[in-house]
Amino acid sequence: MTEHKLIFVGPVGSGKTTAISSLSDEESLRTDAKASDITGIRKQTTTVALDYGQISLSDDHKVRLYGTPGQVRFSFMWDLLANDLAADSHSVVLLLDNTRNQPLRDLKFYTQEFAQLIHRSRLMIGVTRSDVRDEPTLSHYHNWVEELNLQAEIFFIDARRKETMLSLLKCALPSEIPESAWEQYRQTTRETIDITESESSPQTQDTTPFQGDHLVIKESIVTDILNVRGVQGAVLANAMGDILTSSLDNPELEEYIGYMAGMVPAFQAASAFDNARSILVKSPSGNNLSIFIEDDQVLGVLSAQRTSVRTLKQQVEDILQWE
């Protein structure tokens, strides 16, 4: 019997767990735990290790399906899967949630994180939840893939329904698998697929209309960010340095963040580098000040020194993507 492997990657809530569950012949292995961080705004559980399922395509071909956690704080599993368990995957299947505010950012981030694995395999992109929001469109994704100099096949799918993923699955696997095997698989259905807590059914159905490349930070983020472990407060300012809202009781720090907000445009204009997305300042007291830059707004987040800056960045990114 010939074995093939596929690895599913992508942001929290994009449908990885659900897709593997829908495609598997038997009940898939899931390592869900209650979401204890900002993810709980979107869904009740999150994958903390991996998802695993299997497909038998006739007696000659077996497909192993591996799913990665979506969160950076579990990135040690990304390394284990990409460089060991699923290092010989035939394709990388990147799932993108069409209702997130900036799917392009997710496309950039995950293709960079899994660049080596993509280089030695193939890239498939599955766009989920287009039934909830129909933009970005297929043409948007084709343009983004071209801009990033990637080679990828793009499919709009419903991770809850196996039949909508068959074209992606066939494209992701070797062409040597006979059509008869696919026909047999197509006619095989599992009695029950438990997706009651899946990513495809997030707790909130509210979506923001697609704004293209423009992203507006809502003032509510200053309160929402306090749900992130280690965060002590936040300030939102405009590009002129005016404070829009704050949860800090520190006028001097607010003034400093406002000053940094006013300096960012000048820094970017004088710099030969690409536009900065974030700046990290370590204070003498041992706290970290992370400054996130979005068009004409700046978000300053004060966090404890022990807080992982990389994890904090993704938590902020998820809030920006979901609000």
Same domain? 102 vs 24: yes
Are 25 and 118 members of one domain?
yes
Q: Is residue 173 domain-shared with residue 249, that is, in the same domain?
A: no
Torsions phi, psi for 195 (to 5 deg)? -125, 20
Do 314 and 245 have their domain in common? yes
Evaluate whether residue 192 is within a structural domain. no
Pair 57, 185: CB distance under 8 Å: yes
Read off the pLDDT of residues 108-125 as tens digits, 9 standing for 90 and up: 999 999 999 999 999 999
Instruction: Among 165, 187, 209, identify where a domain stops.
Output: 187
CATH of the domain at 259: 3.30.450.30
Residues 135, 27 share a domain: yes
* Cα(118)–Cα(149) distance, integer angstroms: 13
Q: Are residues 229 and 180 in the same domain?
A: no
H/E element, 125 = strand 123-128
Last residue of a domain, one of 134, 169, 187: 187
Give domain status of residue 70, yes or no: yes
Asked whether residue 211 is domain-assigned, the answer is no
Amino acid 270: pLDDT:
66
Quote the CA–CA distance of 143 and 149 in Å, as a whole number.
10
From CA 1, how far away is CA 56, in angstroms rounded?
A: 10
Provide the residue type at 15 as one letter. Answer: G
Low-confidence ranges of the chain (pLDDT < 50): 191-193, 195-204
C-alpha 305/C-alpha 123 separation (Å) is: 37
Residue 193 located in a structural domain: no
CATH classification of the domain holding 34: 3.40.50.300
- Give me the domain span that covers residue 249: 221-322
Predicted model pTM: 0.83
Q: Are residues 230 and 127 in the same domain?
A: no
- Number of Cβ within 10 Å of residue 129's Cβ equals 24
The structure tokens listed for 5 are: 């492997």
pLDDT for res 189: 62
Model pLDDT, residue 40: 52
Other CB atoms within 10 Å distance of the CB of residue 82: 23
